[in-house]
């Protein structure tokens, strides 16, 4: 029976381990071994180029590479890893077309599942901030920029218009700086196609926790980057942290003075530090802050045959430092990992991971970058040319490199694309977060959603008159939907408030097919009519597709 090397993760670490294994195996070894990769997607994302997708200077599908073309002989399972059983040497994958999970056994296991964004540290981040890690994040952020411009163009309320044209990016590391630089370039060029918006209406804010941006670089380069971004119109707030996000605001705290600023914005991007992959917390392997501890050959000493690399592993380098979470390290680790799996199968000596990094580069948008390569510091156009050259040559596959070159050349001559893709319809059920004092909706607004309180308290007002306080488990906003009337009360968060929100279509679908739910909602609304006189007596006559029959529920 063939031995199986099972690789979890289709990023730099996982895919390149398979690529190096294919390269290094003899014909006999290839026949005796199966390489299998499990990845959520059937492509690998070249993350260093993700910021370019925001501005459209590189096409979305030109920053990805199909895994099947990179690791040609490997068997690809496009599935989600659900559980890893180290003792049984098996991995459970999510069900596919057939609704049963798939369990695969392995002889060698390579864990390269990267990290996840940590949503838990900042209230409202999951609900309202735009993350910036995956391919879909770059696209949805780009769409949001265009949407904000479209809305601002038509908006008469000056406060809302200002919020639409204010963009906050939290995190002044490489991802945050590259992201804000691309957003800035894109927006400042795009506004010329709008009649009511000018460049001076735009406000882009970069919020950085440290006392300088790009702290990974020497101070001179970080000052250069700071000054260049400021000159190009980005406001940089140093020594501040993003405290909370809501639909309308980014709340920022000054770390020294403890002063809190509420920035009105509809677009907050969080490039906050990533957290360990949650599946890893379930496996009994030694870890440090969630990263799997491995030896200098990338094997887990306590579990021979289990290997870990990339962002999810804690790899000690020969210089005594731990490898940073970068693609260049994941790629080199992949080679060492492949060599050592083969050494283990062949019974030969293992290699030591000897790479300590070539340098760091960061793009600042519009033909400028900063770079520190092998001790040489570069900035401006030269650094930018080097940055582009390196990533084009590092991009996997000649076809991918050619596509990239064409995009980068066209970007010099053509205006930025400002079309908006409507690929992500608003979810029928989603979560929203409000900080104390923020308004959920106001009297007279269109009733488009129903709200269920998951956590916190809300206060209901008519005019200035408080009518009721609503708590966890209670619902509000249903009357306007049921009666097809504007909101007849205002609801404000009394404390930090987490809501589960159901949109109009989903609400009517539920009501239409669940008479029990409809009955309960009617009863609760009738009680409120008696108790606080919020809701109008017209309720009930306009339930979708129904007579006002107050039918008893079939299901309660
Ligand atoms: C915006 C951005 C810009 C960056 N720029 C640079 C740069 O310029 N230079 C640089 O060196 N590094 C850069 N990095 C960092 C670099 O991309 C990462 O260090 C590198 O991708 C790590 O590789 P990895 O294989 O460990 O993880 P990843 O590349 O994150 O791959 C993890 C893989 O595991 C898969 N996966 C996770 N969970 C599951 C599951 N349960 N089931 C199935 N599949 C799963 C994911 O889908 C993914 O394919 C950047 C990162 C970002 C986000």
Nearest CA, atom 53, ligand 1:
133
Q: Does residue 336's CB lie within 6 angstroms of at least one atom of ligand 1?
A: no
**What pLDDT, in 10s, does the model give residues 119-132?**
888 999 989 999 99
Q: Does residue 113's CB lie within 6 angstroms of at least one atom of ligand 1?
A: yes
Q: Which two tokens stand for residue 81?
A: 């890893």
Mean pLDDT of 17-28: 97
Reported as a pLDDT band with limits 50, 70 and 90, residue 426 is low
Specify whether 352 is located in the same domain as 369: no
User: For residue 390, what are the β-bridge partners?
Assistant: none
SS3 508: helix
Q: Is residue 423 part of a domain?
A: no
Q: Which two tokens stand for residue 57?
A: 């200077």
Select from 319, 340, 357 the last residue of a domain.
357
User: What number does the ligand 1 atom closest to the CA of 391 have?
Assistant: 8
Specify whether 321 is located in the same domain as 347: yes
Cα dist. 452→217, 455, 499 in Å?
47, 9, 6
Asked whether the predicted pLDDT for residue 420 surpasses 50, the reply is yes
Q: Which two tokens stand for residue 18?
A: 């398979």
Q: Is residue 56 part of a domain?
A: no
Specify whether 394 is located in the same domain as 436: no
Tally the domains of the chain.
3
Q: Is residue 65 part of a domain?
A: no
**What pLDDT, in 10s, does the model give residues 90-110?**
999 998 887 788 999 999 999
Select from 357, 377, 405 the last residue of a domain.
357
Q: Which two tokens stand for residue 188?
A: 């400042």
Q: Give the range among 100-114, 140-154, 235-249, 401-415 with minimum mean pLDDT.
A: 401-415
Q: How far is the CA of 312 from the centre of ligand 1 (A)?
A: 9
Ranges of H-type helices in 73-231: 125-128, 135-154, 158-164, 174-190, 219-231
Asked whether the predicted pLDDT for residue 412 surpasses 90, the reply is no
Asked whether the predicted pLDDT for residue 552 surpasses 60, the reply is no
Neighbours of 314 (CB within 10 A): 16
Q: Is residue 73 part of a domain?
A: no
Residue 284: give the domain boundaries: 3-40+78-114+277-357
Q: Does residue 114's CB lie within 6 angstroms of at least one atom of ligand 1?
A: yes
For tokens 């990290």, the residue is 115
Strand pairing category for 203-208 and 166-170:
parallel
Q: What percent of the chain is modeled with pLDDT above 70? A: 94
Q: Give the range among 158-172, 298-312, 420-434, 458-472 with minimum mean pLDDT.
A: 420-434
Q: Which two tokens stand for residue 273?
A: 């530090």
- At residue 410, φ and ψ (nearest 5 deg) are -60, -35
**What pLDDT, in 10s, does the model give residues 45-64?**
999 999 999 988 899 899 99
**What pLDDT, in 10s, does the model give residues 350-382?**
999 999 988 999 999 988 999 999 889 999 999
Q: How far is the CA of 133 from the centre of ligand 1 (A)?
A: 8
Q: Does residue 282's CB lie within 6 angstroms of at least one atom of ligand 1?
A: no
Q: Edge to edge, what strands does the sheet with 306-308 contain? A: 75-78, 33-39, 3-8, 108-111, 306-308
Specify whether 259 is located in the same domain as 185: yes
Q: Does residue 330's CB lie within 6 angstroms of at least one atom of ligand 1?
A: yes
Q: How far is the CA of 12 from the centre of ligand 1 (A)?
A: 7
Residue 496's contacts (CB-CB under 8 Å, 6 or more residues apart) are 123, 244, 433, 434, 435, 436, 455, 456
Specify whether 205 is located in the same domain as 319: no
In angstroms, the CA 467 to CA 60 distance is 50
**What pLDDT, in 10s, does the model give residues 286-338?**
999 899 999 999 999 999 999 999 999 999 999 999 999 999 999 999 999 99
Predicted local confidence at residue 556, as pLDDT: 25
In angstroms, the CA 60 to CA 408 distance is 13
Specify whether 384 is located in the same domain as 497: no
Residue-by-residue DSSP string for 205-221:
EEEESSSSS-TTS-HHH
Ranges of H-type helices in 372-483: 381-394, 398-413, 478-483
Nearest CA, atom 4, ligand 1:
48
Strand pairing category for 203-208 and 234-238:
parallel
Specify whether 100 is located in the same domain as 126: no
Specify whether 32 is located in the same domain as 150: no
Specify whether 507 is located in the same domain as 487: yes
Specify whether 281 is located in the same domain as 261: no
- At residue 306, φ and ψ (nearest 5 deg) are -110, 125
Specify whether 387 is located in the same domain as 536: no
Select from 325, 357, 389 the last residue of a domain.
357
Q: Considering the entire predicted model, what is its pTM?
A: 0.85
Nearest CA, atom 26, ligand 1:
310
Domain containing residue 127: CATH number: 3.50.50.100
CA proximity to 48, closest of 241, 337, 329, 348: 329
Q: Using most ligand atoms within 8 A of CB, pick from 326, 333, 369 the residue to mutate for ligand 1.
A: 326
Domain containing residue 513: CATH number: 2.60.120.10
Q: Is residue 391 part of a domain?
A: yes
Q: Does residue 9's CB lie within 6 angstroms of at least one atom of ligand 1?
A: yes
Q: Using most ligand atoms within 8 A of CB, pick from 80, 81, 311, 324 the residue to mutate for ligand 1.
A: 311
Q: How far is the CA of 389 from the centre of ligand 1 (A)?
A: 21
Sign of the CA dihedral running 323, 324, 325, 331: negative
CA proximity to 122, closest of 309, 17, 249, 283: 249
Residue 227's contacts (CB-CB under 8 Å, 6 or more residues apart) are none
Q: Is residue 144 part of a domain?
A: yes
Half-sphere exposure (Cβ direction) of 27: Cα atoms closer than 13 Å: 0
Q: Is residue 556 part of a domain?
A: no
Q: Is residue 555 part of a domain?
A: no
Specify whether 383 is located in the same domain as 450: no
Domain containing residue 283: CATH number: 3.50.50.60
Supply the Cα-derived Rg of the chain in whole angstroms.
Answer: 27
Q: How far is the CA of 14 from the centre of ligand 1 (A)?
A: 10
Q: Which two tokens stand for residue 249?
A: 């605001």
């Amino acid at each position: 029976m063939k031995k199986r090397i099972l690789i979890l993760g289709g990023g730099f670490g996982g895919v390149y381990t398979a690529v190096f294994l294919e390269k290094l195996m003899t014909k006999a070894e290839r026949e005796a071994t199966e390489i299998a990769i499990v990845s959520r997607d059937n492509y690998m994302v070249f993350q260093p180029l993700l910021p370019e997708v925001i501005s459209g200077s590189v096409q979305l599908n030109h920053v990805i590479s199909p895994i099947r073309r990179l690791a040609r002989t490997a068997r690809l399972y496009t599935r989600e890893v659900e559980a890893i059983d180290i003792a049984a040497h098996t991995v459970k994958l999510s069900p596919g077309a057939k609704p049963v999970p798939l369990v695969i056994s392995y002889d060698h296991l390579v864990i390269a599942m990267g990290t996840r964004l940590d949503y838990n540290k900042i209230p409202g981040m999951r609900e309202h901030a735009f993350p910036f890690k995956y391919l879909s994040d770059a696209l949805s952020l780009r769409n949001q920029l265009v949407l904000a411009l479209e809305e601002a163009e038509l908006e008469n309320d000056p406060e809302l218009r200002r919020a639409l044209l204010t963009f906050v990016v939290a995190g002044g590391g490489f991802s945050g700086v590259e992201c804000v630089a691309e957003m800035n370039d894109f927006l400042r060029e795009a506004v010329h196609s709008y009649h009511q918006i000018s460049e001076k209406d735009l406000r882009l804010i970069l919020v950085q926790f440290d006392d300088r941006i790009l702290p990974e670089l020497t101070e001179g380069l970080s000052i250069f980057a700071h000054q260049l971004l400021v000159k190009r119109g980005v406001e940089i707030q140093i020594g501040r942290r993003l405290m909370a996000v809501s639909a309308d605001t980014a709340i920022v705290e000054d770390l020294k003075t403890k002063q809190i600023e509420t920035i009105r914005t509809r677009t907050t991007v969080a490039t906050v530090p990533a957290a360990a992959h949650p599946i890893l917390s379930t496996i009994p392997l030694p870890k440090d802050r969630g990263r799997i501890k491995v030896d200098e050959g990338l094997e887990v000493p306590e579990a021979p045959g289990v290997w870990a690399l990339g962002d999810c592993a804690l790899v000690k380098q020969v210089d005594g430092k731990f490898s940073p979470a970068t693609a260049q390290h994941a790629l080199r680790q992949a080679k060492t990992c492949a060599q050592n799996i083969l050494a283990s199968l062949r019974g030969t000596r293992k290699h030591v991971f000897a790479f300590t990094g070539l340098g760091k580069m960061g793009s600042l948008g519009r033909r400028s970058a900063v770079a520190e390569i092998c001790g040489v510091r570069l900035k401006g156009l030269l650094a930018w040319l080097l940055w582009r050259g390196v990533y084009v040559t590092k991009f996997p596959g000649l076809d991918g490199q050619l596509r990239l070159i064409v995009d980068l050349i066209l970007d010099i001559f053509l205006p930025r694309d400002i079309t908006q893709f409507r690929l992500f319809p608003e979810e029928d059920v989603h979560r929203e977060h409000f900080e104390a004092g923020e308004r959920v909706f106001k009297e007279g607004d269109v009733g488009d959603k129903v709200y269920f309180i998951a956590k916190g308290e809300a206060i209901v007002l008519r005019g200035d008159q408080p009518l009721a306080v609503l708590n966890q488990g209670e619902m509000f906003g249903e009357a306007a939907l049921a009666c097809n009337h504007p909101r007849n009360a205002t609801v404000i968060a009394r404390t930090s408030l987490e809501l589960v929100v159901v949109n109009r279509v989903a609400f009517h679908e539920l009501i239409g097919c669940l008479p029990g739910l409809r009955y309960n909602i009617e009863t609760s609304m009738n009680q409120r009519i008696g108790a606080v006189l919020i809701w109008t007596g017209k309720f009930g006559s306009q339930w979708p597709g129904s007579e006002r029959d107050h039918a008893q529920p079939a299901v309660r």
